[in-house]
A = this chain, B = another copy of it.
Amino acid sequence: MRVLITGGTGFIGKKVAAALLRDGGLAIDGGEPKPVEHLTLFDAFPGEGVPTDERVELVTGDIADPATVERVARDADVVWHLAAIVSANAEADFELGYRVNLDGTRVLLEVMRATGRRPRLVFASSCAVYGGDVPEVITDETHLTPQTSYGTQKAMGELLVADYSRKGFVDGRSLRLPTIVVRPGKPNKAASTFASSIIREPLAGQEAVCPVERDAAMYVLSPRRVVAALFRAMQLPDEAFGMTRAIVLPGITATVAEMVDALRTVGGDAAVRRIRWEADPAIQRIVRGWPARIDAERARRMGFEADRSFEEIVRAHVEDELGGKVAA
């Protein structure tokens, strides 16, 4: 099989790539694993820590440029489309957000359509498609009322994936991702970046800023679980996905206070003292616009799993990123 990951040098892209290279194949439709012959990691940036493997080709370029995307996507049998301008960045740079998040998705779908082979696509959408005046608990039937340009672009991407799938041009699957914590690496321009920072930096002995109140709640999923979900979504048969081709992933709801409690359990009081509380009204407004309580019933029935607790999320981070050690 030939595999393409857009956003391939981002942190999730690299984790998917590493898992794929380790497993060596994909059990499409639950069948015998098909070996991966070629893996293209496509991104705007070369990134760091990209797997070195003879099957891997790293390509950097503009996802909204048809010729570039044609080159990386025309031979792909399966595509994980993870490339995106994140929320706060898409809100600050209106044109860039539409260019990458909307045009990029459309260009990719057009190249996949032109192959005539109905390649398989897993699209990383986001729970930011929900927003504003939504029910207390979101379900798979809640209407999409994004209150950010990022969420708008993801909702539009889902509609494209559904239409291209309905027409038989691609076999698309959209996953609405919860906020992923704990992200490794450095803070990014996502409004949600603090939720990783307030765990990651204190455990590494560094100070972190928390821009929201302790009662702010978020719907979260660990990197381990999101990678598992991206694989499951790629390997499930066509029929598992309904007419919208989209599902919201199971996650857990955690307040900032609960996140800090888990940090204390794993890293001690010293870790908690490394959080500096500095309210940022712009970030607060965006975060409060995101729904915190979601019942992902359909995805659960399809075998997708949430983390069991925020403490499990913190412990997974310590195991996967810190070699099991936390700063004293």
Contacts and interface: CB of A to CB of B under 8 A. Distances in A.
Contacts of A152: 159-160, 162-163
A277 interface: no
B143 A142 contact: yes
Contacts of A162: 145-146, 152
A242 interface: yes
Contacts of A215: none
A288 interface: no
Identical chains in the assembly: 2
A68 B279 CA distance: 46
A142 B94 CA distance: 28
**In the complex, which range does the number of interface residues on chain A fall in?**
20 to 34
Interface string A159-186: 1101100110000000000000000000
Given A156-B159, A162-B152, A145 B243 contact: yes
Contacts of A242: 133
Nearest to A113: B94
Contact of A143 (B132, B143, B147, B163): B143
Given A142-B143, A143-B141, A132 B243 contact: yes
A328 B84 CA distance: 64
A222 interface: no
A149 interface: yes
A244 interface: yes
A86 interface: no
A94 B166 CA distance: 12
Contacts of A159: 144, 146, 152, 155-156, 159
A136 to B, nearest CB: 13
B94 A145 contact: no
Nearest to A157: B156
B149 A163 contact: yes
Interface in A236-267: 242-244
Among A149, A163, A244, max chain B CB count under 10 A is at A163
A155 B143 CA distance: 12
Interface in A116-167: 131-133, 141-147, 149, 152, 155-156, 159-160, 162-163, 166-167
13 contacts: A133-B242, A133-B243, A142-B143, A144-B159, A145-B162, A146-B162, A147-B166, A149-B167, A152-B159, A152-B160, A155-B159, A156-B159, A159-B159
